[in-house]
Amino acid sequence: MAGGFLCSMARGAPAFHLATFSTDVTPPLGEPLIGGLFQPALKIVDPLYAKGFVLLGADKPMVLVAVDFCEIRNLDTQHWHTALAEAAGTDPNRVLVTSGHQHNAPLADTLAEKIIEEYGIKGKVCDPAYHEQCIRRTVEAVRQAIRKSTRVTHFGFSRAKVDRVASNRRVVLPDGTVNYHRMSAARDPAIRDAPEDLIDPYLKTLSFWDGRRPLAVLSCYSVHPQTHFGKGDVTSDFTGLARLKRQEETPDVFQILTRGCSGDTVTGKYNDGDPKNIPVLAERLRAGMADAWKDVQKEPLTSVSWRYAPLHLKMNEEDNLSEAAEKRTLSDKSQRYLELFRAASGLSWRRWAAEGHGIDIPAVDFGAVKLVLAPAEAFVQYQLWAQEMRPDSFVMVMGYGECAPGYIPTKKAVAEGWKDHAWEWADPPSSEDAMLPALHEALRKA
């Protein structure tokens, strides 16, 4: 994708149409979950979906899809882009793909799977045939949806606070020390009782309307979407349950729910790991979605423009994450699968980047609304900074675009001791220096 250019779908007064689609991407039993790090799929608790829309106008269509996968990386990201672009008759850079990041779900990195096979490692990151099937199903859903597209005259936007769902990993202990040990479930009362710390309390929405009739709403909220995981239960967790409940309440309005920048936002303050918390958290999130729907500001949809900002993240060379170290790890069959997975994932990104594939931050400009897609597990501070960059606009930032980099922390977090040895393939100290210019470029005024 080219960086730093603006292209518009508007010529005069274009007529826009919306096509919504949904397809089941639930894995078969035995499919690896979260890259094979824990139990494979042993039980289907609830189905997983790829849900999205195609916006057709005077120029090439826009496609957005939110997939209930843990992550989509490298070659697989490109595959989703190119396949959906072909189905919708558009360019791959007009396709936004975001993962739900549920941990009881598959992870798509077929390059890492190939590397695991190359080194003869016992274990499996993913099943390429299953992921190919998911893409084919979604492509067919897109084609069918376009045949039944509906006129769009207006877009809407709104926000509402979500009560007692998100908290930050960052915890200041009674002795004043700082740690980042609050996870999705926190059993230590001292960790749970600590303040929420930095979050974005607002769930934001972008909606599409035909006159007074609402057609679809895209909601976005920053939080890690799981309560407990690792036992082989396939589920979209409390976020999927909230989405389902909201869809049942509004059967004529297509519901899509995405994550914001959620690398450091978790449910740990409000979740001790008891499954009873799942419906509680789901109801709180559903209530936020419903509250946001009470006060929607609408404007005529007259144009949609795009800006793409290249993101130049450095790869993590610390500890045993250099390319040479990753190859040594993969050659050592005595290593734990976690270490082998981490090495294969890092090498996957290196190989993909060596072929000339970079990462962009796209921003879609609807006028009053700017829709941004950030990569991987960017910390919530980036979402808040993006909003500050355009105080004249309603800025909505989704996370979990290209997921290859893993966690993308801030300098402050790194200085306070943040470190994740298992999921951090981008260089932590320099990530902020790469992210801020890219966000500025994506959001700068034309």
Q: What is the mean pLDDT of residues 402-421?
A: 94
Q: What is the mean pLDDT of residues 361-369?
A: 97
HSE (side-chain half, CA atoms, 13 Å) at 222: 31
Residue 6 near residue 33, CB atoms below 8 Å: no
* Count of Cβ atoms closer than 10 Å to residue 92 Cβ: 18
Q: For residues 59-82, b (16+ Cβ closer than 10 Å) or e, as one string?
A: bbbbbbbbbbbbbbbbbbbbbbbe
Distance CA 183, CA 191 (A): 9
Average pLDDT, the chain: 94
Please report which confidence band the pLDDT of residue 5 belongs to, taking 50, 70 and 90 as the band edges.
Answer: very low
Residue 195 near residue 141, CB atoms below 8 Å: no
For the chain, domain boundaries: 6-320+338-443
The conformational region for residue 127 under phi > 0 = left, psi -120 to 50 = alpha, else beta, is beta
Residue 236 near residue 49, CB atoms below 8 Å: yes
Q: What is the mean pLDDT of residues 241-268?
A: 98
Maximum alpha-carbon separation in the chain? 65
**Lowest mean per-residue pLDDT among 38-42, 320-324, 371-375:** 320-324
Residue 408 near residue 385, CB atoms below 8 Å: no
- Any residues with CB less than 8 A from the CB of 276 and at least 6 apart, and which? none
pLDDT digits (tens, 9 = 90+) for 142-164: 999 999 999 999 999 999 999 99
- The pLDDT value recorded for residue 58 is 66
- The pLDDT value recorded for residue 313 is 98
Residue 253 near residue 202, CB atoms below 8 Å: no
Residue 74 near residue 352, CB atoms below 8 Å: yes
Say if residue 422's pLDDT is above 90. Answer: no
Query: What are 382's two structure tokens?
Result: 């980036």
Q: What angle do CA 383, 388, 390 make, to 5 degrees?
A: 105
Q: What angle do CA 310, 311, 312 make, to 5 degrees?
A: 115
Say if residue 82's pLDDT is above 90. Answer: yes
HSE (side-chain half, CA atoms, 13 Å) at 225: 34
**Residue among 327, 420, 345 nearest 123 (CA):** 345
Distance CA 413, CA 318 (A): 17
Handedness of CA 423, 205, 438, 66 (dihedral sign): positive
pLDDT digits (tens, 9 = 90+) for 157-214: 999 999 999 999 999 988 889 999 899 999 999 899 999 999 999 999 999 999 999 9
Residue 345 near residue 425, CB atoms below 8 Å: yes
Residue 396 near residue 371, CB atoms below 8 Å: yes
- The pLDDT value recorded for residue 13 is 56
Say if residue 3's pLDDT is above 50. Answer: no
Say if residue 403's pLDDT is above 70. Answer: yes
Distance CA 226, CA 222 (A): 12
Residue 378 near residue 426, CB atoms below 8 Å: no
Say if residue 361's pLDDT is above 70. Answer: yes
**Residue among 391, 361, 390 nearest 378 (CA):** 361
pLDDT digits (tens, 9 = 90+) for 275-331: 999 999 999 999 999 999 999 999 999 999 999 999 999 999 987 789 999 999 999
Distance CA 236, CA 60 (A): 32
Say if residue 11's pLDDT is above 50. Answer: no
Residue 348 near residue 404, CB atoms below 8 Å: yes
- The pLDDT value recorded for residue 8 is 42
**Side-by-side strand order, sheet with 213-221:** 254-259, 213-221, 202-210, 154-161, 297-300
Q: Where does residue 290 rank: exposed (0-12), middle (13-18), buried (19+ CB within 10 A)?
A: middle
**Residue among 282, 273, 264 nearest 424 (CA):** 264
* Count of Cβ atoms closer than 10 Å to residue 336 Cβ: 10
Distance CA 416, CA 418 (A): 6
